[in-house]
Structure 1
Amino acid sequence: MTSLTTTQRQIVESDLGQCITHEKLLGEGWSNTVSCINNKWVARFPHTPESTQVAVEKQFLYAFGKGSPINLPNLKQTEGNYCLYPLLDGKRLNLEEAAKLSHQEKQKACHQLGEFLSWLHTSSFTDENLSTAPYGEADFYQDLWQYVAEALPCDLRLKAEAYLDSYFTTVPDEERKPVICHGDLGLNNILWDNSNAISSIIDFTDLFLCDPAYDFNAFYSYFGQKWVNMMSETYTPHIGDHFWQRVTFNKLRKALFVVYYARHFGYESYIPGRIESIKESLSQQLI
């Protein structure tokens, strides 16, 4: 199955200096189309060509990628608003497969992730387009919360807003100080080798500035505190006294962001299901 437009094919062929003889669609996400080229290269084009996020990702990986404790895409120097890099070895694990890893395999993976996040969250990378709100979601209440809140039952909404007020007044700003975050660190963007160790982390499209607890939220959603506790064993930055409150909040923030993104970038059909998931999660959390 092909995925590149004629113009995209021309760009890739020009940057590679060779014709495309084989093309395979690797993935079609909400943000990007990912293709394997000639069985050797990965080309990832954003759905919104005017986005500055690809430029941020490229500059970060050009400057810092080789210092990572886990292998990252080795981007080819290109001018276009897309990413091109040699195909990486490795496989993805789905949630069921990851849950079936042995304790030793889980512990090793968590320690790898803790080391990676220690490196990422202390990176000195700067860029004029590196932002706390790369998709325009600058105001938590107005941009992320309000739309979902209107769909909640009144009693649940009141409980949730009391929780949010308590969170923002209880957790010190210093603990939530923004650092460079991957933004979408989950199973979809992790590759594993045949021994079930993490071999690579991919797709830094959502790189942004946020509370470092944000990058733990997916693993908390998948596996709960035990997995995150193992990650924290090798996480060297100070996590603060309110770490779990921050992870729990950022799990909600991520869910709200997904609804926001769906509203603004053409994925409205997903919104009802996402809101139902948020309702269920808040109901369990705030009992």
Structure 2
Amino acid sequence: MANKNVWDPDWDISDEIAQQLIYSQFPQLSSHTVQRLGHGWDNTVFLVGGKYVFRFPRRGLAVDLIHLEGKLLPKLDGLLTLPYPKPLFYGKGTSEYPCPFLGYSYVKGSFPQKLADEQRARSAKKLGQFLRRLHSFPVQIARENGAPEDHRKLMDIPARKEKMQVFLSRLGNQMEERERAALADYFKQLSTDPVRERNVFSHGDLHFKNVLVDEQGEVSGIIDWGDMSVGHAAGDLSIGYSFLPPRARHAFFAEYGEVDEDTKRLARMMAIYIPMLVWLQAIDDGDKRLAQEAKGTIARALTDEEFHDR
């Protein structure tokens, strides 16, 4: 049967085979424990000895993403202002598991859950500075090393608006009436006018599942770089709406640099689109915690500063 959801795996890997592959190809790690951390859409993830993270593709398209990370991430060394996984171990597929896999330095932190607005706001300048530096990376070098061009068709607002309305029909019974009304009102007002191109080298998938925070709730690292691409800056700038409370957005954009209103329109749309998809996956996986976080992210992205204290 064909996969029905974009997050459904083409294959998976057992803990035993993952350990066997890591130990056999990297004997220097054979004294380290191998612990499954979980999976995303594209990869199954293992923590090795508390020092390294190994990612094994679970979908065919993720193989190219692993190759891309292996080539491009080392070129960001010294540029970025937040920790990120650095490729260290390049694994090869075998008869037990058909794909290449990659081991990285471990970035400390936890996923942002139930953070207070005050905690989130403290990361505004950090995130703005991080994206300003990331988006300064030469686009030509990114292209020469395989970064795809607008592979998600980010600027096709009419198509995304139509998809979000379908998502809403599937999520409707998970919402209170006021929440459904808020999204419906947003869709009604969302302009589908074209957005001017603003191509940069970008992370490409910057949402709450790919952000780590420290014990104080401040951003401590950015993970999962498989969707690196050349595309509109709004894709990454969506973090200003999805992660930050409304009152912290001015500091975020001030640190990043001038951003026009069309870019902000596209950024907010992506800050709603992605967590709607994450919410659908969470329902499919029976993950109530993730569903609640996605729901809260959408509410935050919909809120403007003037309404925040009402």
Q: Does 1:13 align with 2:23?
A: yes
Q: Which amino acid is 1:114 matched to?
A: G
Q: Tell me which of 92, 112, 117 is aligned to 1:99.
A: 117
Question: Does the residue aligned with 1:25 lie in a helix, a strand or coil?
Answer: strand
Q: Once the two structures are superposed, what CA deviation does each residue of 1:236-276 show, in whole Å capped at 9, x if it has no partner?
A: 3x31143432332222332455489x5xxx94878xx89x9
Q: Does 1:173 align with 2:195?
A: yes
Q: Tell me which of 208, 216, 220 is aligned to 2:237.
A: 216
For 2:136 and 2:47, the matched residues in 1 are separated by 32
Q: Which amino acid is 2:53 matched to?
A: V
- What residue number does 1:87 align with? 106
- What residue number does 1:23 align with? 34
Call closer, same or farther: CA 1:192–1:224 in 2, change over 3 Å: closer
Q: Once the two structures are superposed, what CA deviation does each residue of 1:34-69 show, in whole Å capped at 9, x if it has no partner?
A: 211123221122221452222222222022244212
For 1:259 and 1:97, the matched residues in 2 are separated by 18
For 1:78 and 1:212, the matched residues in 2 are separated by 30
- With structure 2 as the length reference, what TM-score do the two structures score? 0.66
Q: Which amino acid is 1:211 matched to?
A: H
Q: Does 1:254 align with 2:274?
A: yes
How is 1:225-240 mapped onto 2 (pairs within 5 angstroms)? 225-236=246-257, 238-240=258-260
Call closer, same or farther: CA 1:158–1:65 in 2, change over 3 Å: same
Asked whether the equivalents of residues 112 and 217 of structure 2 are also in contact (C-alpha less than 8 Å), the reply is: no
Asked whether the equivalents of residues 20 and 37 of structure 1 are also in contact (C-alpha less than 8 Å), the reply is: no
Asked whether the equivalents of residues 41 and 84 of structure 1 are also in contact (C-alpha less than 8 Å), the reply is: yes
- What residue number does 2:58 align with? 47
How is 1:147-166 mapped onto 2 (pairs within 5 angstroms)? 147-148=166-167, 163-164=189-190
Call closer, same or farther: CA 1:144–1:258 in 2, change over 3 Å: farther
Call closer, same or farther: CA 1:178–1:73 in 2, change over 3 Å: same
- With structure 1 as the length reference, what TM-score do the two structures score? 0.70
Q: Does 1:242 align with 2:256?
A: no
Question: Does the residue aligned with 1:180 lie in a helix, a strand or coil?
Answer: strand
For 1:250 and 1:225, the matched residues in 2 are separated by 16
Call closer, same or farther: CA 1:177–1:83 in 2, change over 3 Å: same
Question: Does the residue aligned with 2:256 lie in a helix, a strand or coil?
Answer: coil
How is 1:50-199 mapped onto 2 (pairs within 5 angstroms)? 50-51=61-62, 52-80=64-92, 81-88=100-107, 90-92=108-110, 94-101=112-119, 106-107=121-122, 109-123=123-137, 124=139, 125-126=142-143, 127-128=145-146, 130-133=148-151, 140=159, 144-145=163-164, 147-148=166-167, 163-164=189-190, 167-169=191-193, 173-174=195-196, 176-193=197-214, 197-199=218-220
Call closer, same or farther: CA 1:34–1:202 in 2, change over 3 Å: same
What is the CA distance between 1:195 and its match in structure 2? 6.2
Identity of aligned residues (%): 18
Q: Once the two structures are superposed, what CA deviation does each residue of 1:132-171 show, in whole Å capped at 9, x if it has no partner?
A: 235999882598357447768xx9999766544xx232xx
Q: Cα RMSD over matched residues?
A: 4.4
Any gaps of 5 or more consecutive residues in structure 2?
A: 1-12, 93-99, 173-180, 304-310
Asked whether the equivalents of residues 182 and 204 of structure 1 are also in contact (C-alpha less than 8 Å), the reply is: yes
For 2:152 and 2:268, the matched residues in 1 are separated by 22
Any gaps of 5 or more consecutive residues in structure 1?
A: none
Asked whether the equivalents of residues 111 and 231 of structure 1 are also in contact (C-alpha less than 8 Å), the reply is: yes
What is the CA distance between 1:234 and its match in structure 2? 1.2
Call closer, same or farther: CA 1:85–1:150 in 2, change over 3 Å: closer
Asked whether the equivalents of residues 73 and 202 of structure 1 are also in contact (C-alpha less than 8 Å), the reply is: yes
For 1:224 and 1:17, the matched residues in 2 are separated by 46
What is the CA distance between 1:5 and its match in structure 2? 4.3
For 1:240 and 1:135, the matched residues in 2 are separated by 20
Q: Larger relative contact order (C-alpha < 8 A, sep ≥ 6)?
A: 1
Q: Does 1:201 align with 2:222?
A: yes
Q: Which amino acid is 1:74 matched to?
A: K
Q: Once the two structures are superposed, what CA deviation does each residue of 1:164-199 show, in whole Å capped at 9, x if it has no partner?
A: 4xx232xx532x434333233244333344666543
Q: How many residues align?
A: 267
For 1:239 and 1:251, the matched residues in 2 are separated by 16
